[in-house]
């Protein structure tokens, strides 16, 4: 239905201005009941959005700073592909300490979501050791030699305990820092996988040992290549994955 669905959040709701939200969604700042919020309109299924919104509500209850879904006037957390969430203040990480604090929040996320069910329609990196497709990934579209390299990188993490990963945690725009807290926003890529995929941060802020960092960095580069294939960024990331 498009942005006309916004009226489900009340008579005084209005769009303000477009925000950067990637190619998959139309993201705007909105006002709901006099409060600044964020509206995200996309093509995700109801099952997918239910998974994401329930996750965010759980993380908020557990003390993480995340965008919290604002219900419609009849209590729904989303409607016709539209989600409205609280606006999160803060700026991007600027120092090594900022990134270390972000790593701490990511580890809290991982601890809180061990055993969490997979996002509907998604697969983990371990799944793609055998599967060909899932959500944004289509290994059949990649060069066979590149697929072999990606699978070799993911195999090094196979068998690890899984949890929810943010999925785009090293993106400056997805971490909001203030003096007293670190927030994680834009959960569009979140799914269940090995936590190492979230911990390849600038300056090795998560403090991984050299060997562990190399394993995580290779798996992360392979994941981003597969998810984004075949734009220029994906080609660049695949080039970072070593030959088998």
106 sits in which H/E element: helix 96-112
Assigned token pair, 11: 């008579």
Q: What is the pTM of this model?
A: 0.95
Q: Which residues contact 208 (CB under 8 A, 6 or more apart)?
A: 196, 199, 216
pLDDT in tens, 82-109: 999 999 999 999 999 999 999 999 999 9
Q: Report H helices in 30-95.
A: 46-61
**How many Cβ atoms from other residues are within 10 Å of residue 86's Cβ?**
19
The yes-or-no verdict on residue 22 having pLDDT over 70 is no
Q: What mean pLDDT comes out for the span 50-68?
A: 98
Give the per-residue pLDDT at 208: 98
Give the per-residue pLDDT at 21: 57
Fold of 96-239: Aminoglycoside 3'-phosphotransferase; Chain: A, domain 2 (3.90.1200)
pLDDT in tens, 178-233: 999 999 999 999 999 999 999 999 999 999 999 999 999 999 999 999 999 989 99
**Whether the domain at 2-86 and the domain at 96-239 fall into the same CATH topology:** no
pLDDT in tens, 132-191: 999 889 999 999 999 999 999 999 999 999 999 999 998 989 999 999 999 999 999 999
Assigned token pair, 126: 């371990």
pLDDT in tens, 5-16: 999 999 999 999
Using pLDDT thresholds of 50, 70 and 90, give the confidence band for residue 63: very high
Contact 33, 18 (CB under 8 A): no
- Kindly write down the DSSP assignment for every residue of 167-192, as one continuous string: S-TT-GGGEEE-SS-EEE---TT-EE
Give the per-residue pLDDT at 135: 84
Give the per-residue pLDDT at 23: 63
Residue 104 to residue 231: CA distance in whole angstroms: 32
Q: Where are the domains of the chain?
A: 2-86, 96-239
CATH code for residues 2-86: 3.30.200.20
Give the per-residue pLDDT at 244: 77
């Amino acid at each position: 239905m498009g942005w006309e669905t916004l009226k489900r959040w009340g008579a005084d709701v209005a769009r303000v201005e477009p925000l950067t939200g990637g190619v998959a969604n139309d993201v705007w700042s909105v006002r709901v009941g006099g409060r600044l919020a964020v509206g995200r309109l996309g093509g995700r299924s109801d099952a997918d959005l239910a998974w994401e919104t329930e996750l965010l509500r759980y993380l908020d209850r557990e003390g993480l700073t995340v965008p919290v879904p604002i219900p419609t006037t009849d209590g729904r957390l989303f409607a016709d592909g539209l989600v409205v969430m609280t606006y999160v203040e803060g700026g991007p990480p600027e120092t090594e300490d900022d990134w270390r604090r972000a790593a701490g929040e990511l580890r809290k996320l991982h601890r809180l979501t061990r055993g969490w069910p997979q996002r509907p329609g998604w697969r983990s990196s371990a799944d793609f050791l055998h599967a060909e497709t899932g959500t944004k990934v289509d290994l059949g579209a990649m060069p066979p030699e590149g697929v072999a390299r990606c699978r070799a990188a993911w195999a090094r993490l196979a068998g690890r305990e899984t949890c929810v990963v943010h999925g785009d945690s090293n993106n400056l725009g997805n971490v909001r820092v203030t003096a007293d807290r670190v927030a994680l926003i834009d959960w569009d890529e979140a799914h269940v996988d090995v936590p190492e995929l979230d911990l390849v941060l600038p300056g090795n802020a998560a403090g991984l040992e050299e060997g562990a960092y190399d394993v995580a960095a290779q798996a992360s580069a392979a994941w981003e290549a597969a998810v984004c294939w075949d734009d220029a960024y994906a080609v660049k990331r695949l080039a970072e994955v070593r030959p088998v």
